[in-house]
Amino acid sequence: MKTILTGIRANSELTLGNYLGALLPMVRLANQHSNEMNVNIFVPDLHSIIADVDGNLQKNIIRTIKYYIAAGLELNDNVHIYRQSYVPAHSELCWILNCVATMGEASRMTQYKEKSEGRESCNVGIFDYPILMAADILLYSAEYVPIGEDQFQHIELARNLAMRFNHRFQSEIFTVPVKTSEQVEFMGLSDGIRIRDLLNPEKKMSKSTASENSKIMFDDEPAKAAKKIMSATTDSLGKIKFDMFNQPGISNLLLIDALVMDSPLQDVVSTWAGETKYGDLKQKVANDVSNMLAEFQSRLSGITDQQVLELFEKGESYANNVANAKLFEAQKAFGLR
Ligand code: TYM
């Protein structure tokens, strides 16, 4: 059986970007394919600790899985839910891949460059992050990895490491994930998703941005989220058009609405063609986002910690079996076993 796999770090509340770029597409794909594919949804808790954690990590790990369930994830025997740090093979394979990856390719990762920029010192975890991510994927022979556009470079790295390892040992030990263009196609999209910062739409919406009005968080009161949309930065061109280059603010709102309403972007864009009132567009997006949040938050409150802990227990037993078997093949190739 083929495998679809993804993870979301559990540092703080999720943003609308995480939800629309990764969580919702994963839930839709999982529900579509979990009768014929393995669906691995894990919490990369070791990735979480590259940033400051505030004493709430345990709570946030559990909440991340609740989010998938509240977003409509249907559970069955092919859906495996686990925590990265409960499957030690991830760290072990990361070390092995560290000895396959080069300093040059790891230094070229945009996310590393962005996260380390301007810092006097930066932890080694930030640098090694994509190698651990490659281990997360390769241990389970996952071909499909639904993620947002900012992670595409890491998928290409995982592909390169898998191919290099296989070539070095003249083996087929690792399944090479499909190219990012095919990942996008598998997600039913024409482009990767990048939800923009509401105040600075040239940048992606990120949980680490200081300004509250730049991002919508999943615990925002629906009315507060609506206000943030109403105050989003637009432009002075006075036409509603999808053009990320010249009108990133307006385009971001169109994209958000399409994803929230699960409508093709093209349909949403043609509905607004010829319209000029930005206020009307903002009002529509604000209503749709706040309704979605209200519904989501009410479903979330009905999911218990115990439910999630039971899923972890079952998923981690599965994950350790699969991951240890793959790790053993990699260890044997190097002569470690
Ligand atoms: P994280 O937690 O930083 O991001 C989680 C997911 O959210 C997507 N995302 C966005 N998508 C669209 N627009 C945005 N503004 C936006 N912001 C975030 C990210 O692309 C990501 O899909 N390294 C991963 C976690 C990870 C992982 C893995 C994923 C660790 N190992 C293995 C897949 C497979 C990450 O960045 O998480």
* Cα 151 from Cα 285, distance rounded (Å): 26
* Cα 227 from Cα 152, distance rounded (Å): 32
pLDDT at 115: 82
pLDDT at 13: 79
Q: In what order do the strands lie in the sheet with 3-7?
A: 3-7, 38-43, 79-83
* Location of each CATH 1.10.240.10 domain in the chain: 212-300
* Cα 324 from Cα 322, distance rounded (Å): 6
What are the tokens at 7? 């993870």
pLDDT at 207: 84
**Ligand 1 pocket test target in 38, 45, 63, 151 with most atoms within 8 Å of CB:** 151
pLDDT at 119: 79
Under CATH, what is the fold of the domain 212-300?
Tyrosyl-Transfer RNA Synthetase (1.10.240)
pLDDT at 140: 98
* Cα 140 from Cα 216, distance rounded (Å): 33
Secondary structure (3-state) at 143: coil
pLDDT, tens digit (0-9, with 9 covering 90-100), for 213-245? 999 998 899 999 999 999 999 999 999 999 999
Map 200-269 to HEC letters.
CCCCECCCCCCCHHHCCECCCCHHHHHHHHHCCCCCCCCCCCCCCCCCHHHHHHHHHHHHHHCCCHHHHH
pLDDT at 302: 95
* Location of each CATH 3.40.50.620 domain in the chain: 3-188+304-334
Annotated active-site residue 115? The verdict is yes
Question: 130: Cβ below 6 Å to ligand 1?
Answer: no
How close is the Cα of 17 to the center of ligand 1, in Å?
9
pLDDT at 189: 78
The whole-model pTM stands at 0.90
* Cα 29 from Cα 111, distance rounded (Å): 26
Indicate which residue of 204, 215, 282, 326 is catalytic.
Answer: 204
Annotated active-site residue 332? The verdict is no
- Residue ranges in the chain whose pLDDT is less than 70: none
CATH node for 3-188+304-334: 3.40.50.620
How close is the Cα of 151 to the center of ligand 1, in Å?
6
Helix (H) or strand (E) holding 301: none
- Is there a contact between 144 and 29 (Cβ–Cβ < 8 Å)? yes
Alpha helices, H only, the chain: 16-18, 24-33, 45-48, 57-70, 89-98, 103-107, 110-116, 124-138, 152-168, 180-186, 222-230, 248-261, 265-272, 278-300, 305-334
Question: 137: Cβ below 6 Å to ligand 1?
Answer: yes
